[in-house]
């Protein structure tokens, strides 16, 4: 196969990617859990939206301790989702609609039920022992006090081998030892096997954590990270025309230039979280809520847009399966739900990068505020328990959970007004958001004023004008505390995006800027080129130079 040396003019630069969380998307066999056939039967909906690729959260065999991010067989499909034949059918059916399938690769850890780990814990001499990260501990205690992301110690004792293994996530997600070249080769073979099946790319789960060095307390960005990534890319991704996106919580713009270097030596793009972590108390956890510092949000976007220009590639997103719904978070899920959802979409989709739409975002789906019994997510249940034990007030814990629980994103896709929002004819694995009668796909697809139609139009526009992909970026009204505005420009076009981020009317001195510009899209019907921006008003203009 031809080696891809540079990633200029790559298809994924003008693509829009849609993320599916399979267990919550569509259930075809009435067991209450979404599956591959459910996805296949909704491909026409996605084609109509206009997306180019689907990032599929993990569907490989898994005990589902962390909803599939704990894989016990990387080369088989979990029966809950279907079979390998279903997966092949999905790749083929999506392909017919020019939609590529991006697999979620969980390479930092496996499930403790993976064959490798079951062997690894039998004895220190077992050939698989060194596939994982083991330490003897000190006087009957773990080697250090590192904590796992989902609570508790990052070390777990195994009496058969008289050692502790390292796990950055749950105890059922032992970390893989990337120092071991035999393990690395197994991983490359597995990836190449999927590539030959015709997948269009890979999303790499917590990829900046693979080069951990727990003795030095290093988790992110370990010293050998880029060496590992280059080898991984050379042995796998560069052999085909793939998109690769690295989940990198610890990325700075400098690191992102390495990960997404246009020489294609590592990955296509980063998926970084600097903007999305702003509404928490600095230095604390996401549960420690703080209001969004709007000026900081502008500064962060400006920095990423300008510093990566020509030197790297970023993802554009508000949501994924780990994040609360953006319309509830930074928009307004009451009176201005439609306006604010569209404003957030317009604001994001005018920038440089590859946009990701998370299932239901295109409908303006909202957070769910359930009682604790309705939550299913391991992280949410653990924090509830841990904080109660620490003496926190239940009311405060629930406030954090309502705002930030990952289950906000995982309630079933709202297809129509029928029972269970049309997601399943069985009993859904997690409660459907009760607002499905007001918010659902069947109502929006044919309504030209819907949020769905706004996303559809944004996707169409991105494909029509190269300025979206290639234009530079200039932040406007930087000191304004309500307005998010920017201009972009390439050789032939100028693009202008102006958004009122809040629910009060504000004035904005746009006169000269919008003169002779054409309005491409907005979220109010009666646009009169006025300089007053109504609550959450957003406009996008274009001019030929």
Residues known to be catalytic = 205, 247
Considering only residues 455 through 514, tell me which ones interact with ligand NOJ, judged by CB under 6 A.
none
Considering only residues 102 through 131, tell me which ones interact with ligand NOJ, judged by CB under 6 A.
106
Burial class (CB in 10 A: 0-12, 13-18, 19+), 447: exposed
Q: State how far the alpha carbon of 185 is from the alpha carbons of 198, 219, 235, in Å.
A: 20, 22, 9
Nearest approach, Cβ of residue 411 and ligand NOJ (Å): 15
C-beta of 206 vs 401, nearer to ligand NOJ: 206
**Residue 46 near residue 25 (C-beta atoms within 8 A):** no
C-beta of 323 vs 467, nearer to ligand NOJ: 323
C-beta of 165 vs 468, nearer to ligand NOJ: 165
Beta pairing, strands 17-20 & 53-56: parallel
Near ligand NOJ by CB under 6 A: residue from 133, 206, 269, 270: 206
Residue 475 β-bridge partners: 486
C-beta of 112 vs 537, nearer to ligand NOJ: 112
The whole-angstrom separation of Cα 22 and Cα 429 is 12
The whole-angstrom separation of Cα 135 and Cα 163 is 6
Nearest approach, Cβ of residue 378 and ligand NOJ (Å): 8
Nearest approach, Cβ of residue 406 and ligand NOJ (Å): 7
Can you tell me which residue has the tokens 């059916």? Answer: 93
The whole-angstrom separation of Cα 170 and Cα 152 is 9
**Residue 94 near residue 43 (C-beta atoms within 8 A):** yes
Beta pairing, strands 315-316 & 506-507: unpaired
Nearest approach, Cβ of residue 194 and ligand NOJ (Å): 18
C-beta of 169 vs 502, nearer to ligand NOJ: 169
What is the distance between the terminal CA atoms of the chain, rounded to a whole angstrom? 42
Helix axes 378-389, 394-404, angle to 10 degrees: 160
Nearest approach, Cβ of residue 55 and ligand NOJ (Å): 11
* 205 interacts with ligand NOJ by CB under 6 A: yes
Nearest approach, Cβ of residue 134 and ligand NOJ (Å): 20
* 169 interacts with ligand NOJ by CB under 6 A: yes
Beta pairing, strands 100-105 & 201-204: parallel
C-beta of 320 vs 366, nearer to ligand NOJ: 320
In terms of phi and psi (left: phi > 0; alpha: psi -120 to 50; beta: otherwise), the region of 67 is: left
Mask for 297-326, x = binds ligand NOJ (CB under 6 A): ------------------------xx----
**Residue 482 near residue 534 (C-beta atoms within 8 A):** no
Q: Return the closest-CA partner of residue 68 out of 96, 27, 110, 101.
A: 110
C-beta of 28 vs 173, nearer to ligand NOJ: 173
C-beta of 78 vs 470, nearer to ligand NOJ: 78
Site size for ligand NOJ (CB under 6 A): 9
Nearest approach, Cβ of residue 244 and ligand NOJ (Å): 16
Query: Using CB atoms, what's the residue nearest to ligand NOJ?
Result: 69
Nearest approach, Cβ of residue 109 and ligand NOJ (Å): 7
* 69 interacts with ligand NOJ by CB under 6 A: yes
Near ligand NOJ by CB under 6 A: residue from 66, 156, 279, 537: 66
Enumerate long-range contacts of 209-214, CB under 8 Å, 24 or more apart.
209/108, 209/168, 210/107, 210/108, 210/176, 210/178, 211/178, 212/133, 212/166, 212/168, 212/175, 214/133, 214/135, 214/143, 214/144, 214/146, 214/154, 214/166
- Tell me the chain's radius of gyration from C-alpha atoms: 23
C-beta of 255 vs 323, nearer to ligand NOJ: 323
* 541 interacts with ligand NOJ by CB under 6 A: no
Nearest approach, Cβ of residue 25 and ligand NOJ (Å): 16
Q: Which two tokens stand for residue 460?
A: 């169409």
Considering only residues 230 through 289, tell me which ones interact with ligand NOJ, judged by CB under 6 A.
247
Q: Return the closest-CA partner of residue 7 out of 312, 314, 350.
A: 312
Which residues contact ligand NOJ by CB under 6 A?
A: 66, 69, 106, 169, 205-206, 247, 321-322
């Amino acid at each position: 196969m031809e080696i891809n040396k540079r990633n200029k003019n790559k298809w994924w630069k003008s693509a829009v990617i849609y993320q599916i969380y399979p267990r919550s998307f569509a259930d075809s066999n009435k067991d209450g859990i979404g599956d591959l056939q459910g996805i296949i039967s909704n491909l026409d909906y996605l084609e109509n939206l206009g997306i180019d690729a689907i990032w599929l959260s993990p569907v490989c065999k898994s005990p589902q301790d962390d909803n599939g991010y704990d894989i016990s067989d990387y080369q088989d499909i979990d029966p809950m989702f279907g079979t390998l034949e279903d997966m092949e059918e999905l790749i083929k059916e999506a392909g017919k609609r020019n939609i590529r399938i991006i697999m979620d690769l969980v390479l930092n850890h496996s499930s403790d039920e993976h064959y490798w780990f079951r062997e690894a814990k039998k004895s220190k001499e077992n050939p698989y022992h060194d596939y994982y990260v083991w330490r003897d501990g000190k006087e009957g205690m773990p080697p250090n006090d590192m904590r796992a992301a989902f609570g508790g110690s990052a070390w777990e004792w195994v009496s058969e081998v008289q050692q502790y293994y390292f796990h950055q996530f749950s105890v059922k997600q032992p970390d893989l030892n990337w120092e071991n070249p035999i393990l690395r080769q197994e991983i490359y073979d597995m990836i190449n096997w999927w590539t030959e099946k015709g997948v269009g790319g890979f999303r790499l789960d917590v990829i900046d954590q693979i080069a951990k060095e727990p003795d030095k307390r290093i988790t992110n960005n370990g010293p050998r990270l880029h060496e590992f990534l280059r080898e991984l890319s050379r042995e796998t991704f560069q052999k085909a025309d793939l998109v690769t996106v690295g989940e990198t919580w610890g990325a700075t713009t400098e690191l992102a230039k390495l990960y997404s270097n246009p020489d294609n030596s590592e990955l296509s793009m980063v998926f970084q979280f600097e903007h999305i972590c702003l509404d928490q108390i600095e230095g604390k956890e996401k549960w420690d809520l703080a209001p969004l510092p709007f000026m900081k949000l502008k500064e962060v976007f400006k920095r990423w847009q300008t510093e990566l220009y020509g030197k790297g590639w970023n993802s554009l997103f508000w949501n994924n399966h780990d994040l609360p719904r953006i319309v509830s978070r930074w928009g307004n899920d009451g009176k201005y739900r439609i306006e604010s959802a569209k404003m957030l979409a317009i604001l994001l989709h005018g920038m440089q990068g590859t946009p990701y739409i998370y299932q239901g975002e295109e409908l303006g789906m909202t957070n769910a505020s359930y009682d604790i019994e309705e939550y299913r997510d391991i992280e949410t249940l653990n924090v509830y328990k841990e904080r109660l034990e620490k003496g926190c007030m239940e009311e405060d814990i629930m406030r954090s959970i309502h705002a930030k629980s990952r289950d906000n994103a995982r309630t079933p896709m709202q297809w129509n007004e029928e029972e269970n929002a049309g997601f399943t004819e069985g009993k859904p694995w997690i409660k459907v958001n009760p607002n499905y009668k007001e918010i659902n796909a069947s109502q929006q697809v044919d309504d030209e004023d819907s949020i769905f139609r706004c996303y559809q139009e944004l996707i169409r526009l991105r494909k029509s004008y190269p300025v979206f992909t290639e234009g530079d970026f200039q932040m406007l009204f930087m000191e304004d505390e309500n307005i998010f505005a920017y201009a972009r420009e390439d050789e032939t076009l100028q693009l202008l995006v102006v958004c009122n981020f809040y629910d009060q009317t504000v004035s904005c001195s746009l006169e000269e800027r919008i003169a002779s510009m054409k309005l491409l899209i907005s979220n109010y019907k009666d646009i009169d080129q006025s300089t007053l921006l109504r609550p959450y008003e957003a406009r996008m203009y274009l001019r030929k130079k």
